[in-house]
Amino acid sequence: MIRSAALHSSRFQMAVFGILAAVMLLTRSHALTHMVHIPSTALASYFVLGYFIRRFAGFVGLFVLGYAIDVVSISILGTSDFCYTPAYAMLIPAYAVMWMAGRRTARLPEKPGSLPAVTLLLAGATLVSHLFASGGFYFLGGRFADPTIAGFLPRLARYFPFVLMSSLLWSGVAVALWALVTMARPDLRRARAQ
């Protein structure tokens, strides 16, 4: 019975990873976003990944996929390389913050009363993640002459609300889908818990 539960959990995690990878392929590769502007799913994807997949290998796998998509998009598909600077490395801690926030959220009970705590955790993680990514690009990317905190704050005020909205929106979609799935298949809640 334990072996069966572990196998079920492993299959479940592979399914979750596959879904997140497909979402990343569709949205990050600009397969859809060149036709319709879709808010970024990146931060929410790492948050959801942390919620369902606690192994570091899952984080590494999703990051490597995102990096590969970016390289192919820039080198083959002709996407602008403006954001591809030495500061790209700051995406590692930015995404790790979201993944760890998802892991922390997984320890909370799945009940409506946990929603305010989850929302605050998600919003706080999104802010820290955005500071790593956007701040890293501004201060370390070499695209801005003489970067200063005073110069960064208007950029933070301009871009963070949209990043937060995207993070909350896609995480909310994931929560709604998970609620529907667990109503139809309550056994999957146990698989996630393992």
Per-residue confidence (pLDDT) for residue 6, from 0 to 100: 45
One digit per residue, the tens of pLDDT, for the chain of length 194 reads 333 344 348 888 999 999 999 998 888 766 555 555 567 899 999 999 999 998 999 999 999 999 998 888 888 877 777 777 889 999 999 999 999 999 999 999 888 899 999 999 999 999 999 999 999 999 998 888 899 999 999 999 999 999 999 999 999 999 999 989 888 887 777 666 65
> Measured between alpha carbons, how far is 170 from 104 in angstroms, rounded to an integer?
18
Number of H helices, E strands in the chain: 8, 0
DSSP the chain: -HHHHHHHHHHHHHHHHHHHHHHHHHHHTSTTTTTS-----HHHHHHHHHHH--SHHHHHHHHHHHHHHHHHHHHTS----TT-SGGGGGHHHHHHHHHHHHHHHHTS-SSGGGHHHHHHHHHHHHHHHHIIIIIHHHHHSS-SSS--HHHHHHHHHHHHHHHHHHHHHHHHHHHHHHHHHHHH-THHHHHHH-
Tokens linked to 165: 């909205």
pLDDT (0 to 100) of residue 91: 95
Q: How far apart are CA 33 and CA 84, in angstroms?
A: 18
Collapsed DSSP state (helix, strand, coil) of residue 30: coil
Q: Where are the domains of the chain?
A: 2-193
Residue 9, pLDDT score: 80
Question: What token pair was written down for 10?
Answer: 């492993």
Q: What is the pTM of this model?
A: 0.88
pLDDT of residue 192: 63
- Please tell me the predicted confidence (pLDDT) of residue 33: 52
| The residue type at 193 | A
Give the pLDDT confidence score for residue 102 in this predicted structure. 96
H or E element, residue 128? helix 115-130
The beta-carbon contacts of 148-151 under 8 Å, at least 24 apart in sequence, are none
pLDDT at 191: 62
Q: Which of 2, 36, 9, 40 is nearest to 171 (CA)?
A: 40
